Amino acid sequence: MAAAETLAARIERGDRTALARMISWAENGDARFAGELAALWPRVGRAWRVGVTGPPGAGKSTLVNELARVERSRERSVGICAVDPSSPFTGGALLGDRIRMDDRTLDPGVFIRSMASRGSHGGLARAAASACDVLDAFGFATILLETVGVGQAEYDVLDAADTVVVVLCPGAGDGIQAMKAGLLEVADVLVVNKSDLPGAERLQSDLTEAVHVRFTKRAWAVPVVAASAGTAQGTEDVLEAIARHRAHVESSGLEAARRRKRIEQVRHSLSEQLSERLWGPAGLRDRVEVELAQGHSPHAIAAALLAEVTMGLSKLSEARR
């Protein structure tokens, strides 16, 4: 009897079921993932990864759908990974936003995956980056990574993107909120969506000025593009801005830029797995509970644990000398 074909081998020959399963492994932190991805690793790095973020209600999903439509009309295949915000308690993703993507789901040149935020900080970024790696290895030309721009965990997701598109729409204080939340700083391309609404021109001029004032020393001038994804306007302008950003990154050192992001990926991955190891079953919880009951402060307990863990690490480096 022949040995079972590996997931990596199945993905190499375009098996979408294998693709879906491997992304599930990434999402669930399955121990087999690292080995399979290592086998696929030489195939990773060919796709262009576009992060699409912005506040809730800005029209991210609609724009992603539009970007996918135009890419498909150019015969470029598209992988979509959508990270939904979720409660730290329920852990569930609300799939309402995905409904409009239905017209893409029957196209074999498109693969759509929703991913729930699990409350685990590093976990989400790791899972999203891993999903992009798998989509990349599978051979999609463009990867659209959608995440709501509301917090650190969501920003970390953007580490996986080559180009970050920040979507805003006119509305009370939206420009100001975006600046507060740091959305401007992560943007490579700014999109003023719903550009037919009142206030769109004002938002566009405010953003153009803010970008001009803040990022005067940067080599890449962040463009501010008007779009109305609901009526399919401006989508090609957005793609053109992404293409210009891609050319800029490629001419100024794509490998170095990606390597910086991959270092963060290693950092998140290690941190998350270490935390699981320390605090999972048979972990530190019981001991900490006892020490708290004895009247020690959390800070003193953490300091003592850090000393122990660090000593373990230094003993290891001594042993290897």
For a copy of itself, the closer CB: 14 or 151: 151
Tell me how far, at minimum, the Cβ of 55 lies from a copy of itself, in Å: 9
For a copy of itself, the closer CB: 13 or 218: 218
For a copy of itself, the closer CB: 178 or 229: 178
Tell me how far, at minimum, the Cβ of 166 lies from a copy of itself, in Å: 12
Tell me how far, at minimum, the Cβ of 301 lies from a copy of itself, in Å: 5
Tell me how far, at minimum, the Cβ of 127 lies from a copy of itself, in Å: 11
For a copy of itself, the closer CB: 202 or 285: 285
d(CA 220, CA 233): 25
The phi and psi torsions of 22 (rounded to 5 degrees) equal: -70, -35
Tell me how far, at minimum, the Cβ of 41 lies from a copy of itself, in Å: 4
For a copy of itself, the closer CB: 70 or 181: 181
